[in-house]
Amino acid sequence: MAISFAQNYFRNSAGVQWEILGRLSLDNSYPTGGYSIDPLQFGLSQVTNFSVTDNVSGYGFDYNATTQKLLVYQAGTGGVLAAHSHDIQAVSENLPVTTFRVYHGAVAGGPFVIGDAITGSISGAAGTVTAVGATYLDFAAATALQFGEVITGGTSGATATTESSGTGVVTPTNPVFSLHGVSYTDDLGNTSPVPVGASVNIVQGLSLGDPSLGARINSVGDIEVCPDAFDGGVLTSIQIDYTVSVTTSVSGGTVTGGGEVPNATDLSAITNVEYRVVGL
């Protein structure tokens, strides 16, 4: 079979051309390159425009005036999504304290050295020095030193009076944390805003008597939580609630089924469709 025309019910003279309306039906085997449109079928010598004026779900039509053929296209399905990000909210981690940092006054008989075994004269807290600065030292221990006690280095023989009760230092895991939306109070009582750059929203859950503590990030990116200078409690861990944004590439699949219908496709379900032809 081929394309068939019926009910050529309107013929109108438009200047030197004719306009014809009617209805068409397709067959069960779409020919390669489209259906041939013969002007003689309409009493014309030349077809200058041919269009299907009815909406046929899932299909589109295009007339090629050069080849005088009506091409049928099918709608594509599927699509491709661009890469996008997902915000993961209210993620929590409970991180153990790894070291304490204590600020001190003038050092006698010193200085302290890394590896020094230190003890506090009041608390009896003991630890091993892991880092030394001009006014502070870091040490690994289960308990922070108290404010105002004398610390003694067993290896170096150095002594100094503490000016803070110790800062709990937590080494961030992955993702690396940065503080956001809070201020911190340093060991000398100075309050400063946290530097800009942010993913952590809340710092809480400290096992200390005073829960209203400040926090900061030190020069190597660790999180420091500053206990109250006179508290004397034990800082064991820090709970951090934070937000991370992870960008992932997501594909929605490849567009399929689009373009001209394949050769020999059965289109016999397309019947009684209105068309319009213009020609000489």
- Tell me whether strands 223-226 and 214-217 are parallel, antiparallel or unpaired: antiparallel
Calpha distance 20→271 (Å, rounded): 18
Q: Given this model, what pLDDT does residue 30 score?
A: 93
In contact, 167 and 181? CB cutoff 8 Å: no
In the chain, ranges of CATH 2.60.40 domains: 4-76+260-279
Work out the end-to-end distance of the chain between its first and last CA atoms, rounded to an integer number of angstroms: 27
CATH match of 4-76+260-279 with 2.60.40: yes
Residue by residue, pLDDT tens for the chain (280 residues) are: 588 888 665 666 666 788 888 899 999 999 988 999 999 888 889 998 999 999 888 888 999 989 999 999 987 655 666 665 555 555 666 777 888 888 899 999 989 999 999 999 988 888 999 999 988 999 988 777 888 899 999 999 999 999 877 778 877 665 544 444 444 444 455 555 544 333 333 343 333 333 345 566 666 667 777 654 444 456 677 666 555 555 566 555 565 667 888 899 999 999 999 999 988 8
Calpha distance 37→46 (Å, rounded): 10
The Cβ of residue 24 has, within 10 Å, a number of other Cβ atoms equal to: 23
Amino acid at position 153, single letter: G
Q: Given this model, what pLDDT does residue 129 score?
A: 95
What is the average pLDDT value for the chain, to the nearest integer?
75
Q: What is the pLDDT of residues 139-153, one digit of tens each?
A: 988 777 888 899 999
Residue 139 CA, chain-centre distance (Å), reads 38
Find where tokens 């030292």 sit. 137
In contact, 184 and 226? CB cutoff 8 Å: yes
Q: Given this model, what pLDDT does residue 207 score?
A: 33
Find where tokens 């019926």 sit. 6
Indicate the helix (H) or strand (E) that contains 279: strand 273-279
Find where tokens 């990030």 sit. 217
Q: CA dist 39 to 45, 67, 91, 278, 279, Å?
A: 6, 12, 72, 10, 8
Q: What is the pLDDT of residues 58-113, one digit of tens each?
A: 888 999 989 999 999 987 655 666 665 555 555 666 777 888 888 899 999 989 99
In contact, 95 and 173? CB cutoff 8 Å: yes
In contact, 32 and 50? CB cutoff 8 Å: no
Token duo for residue 124: 């009896």
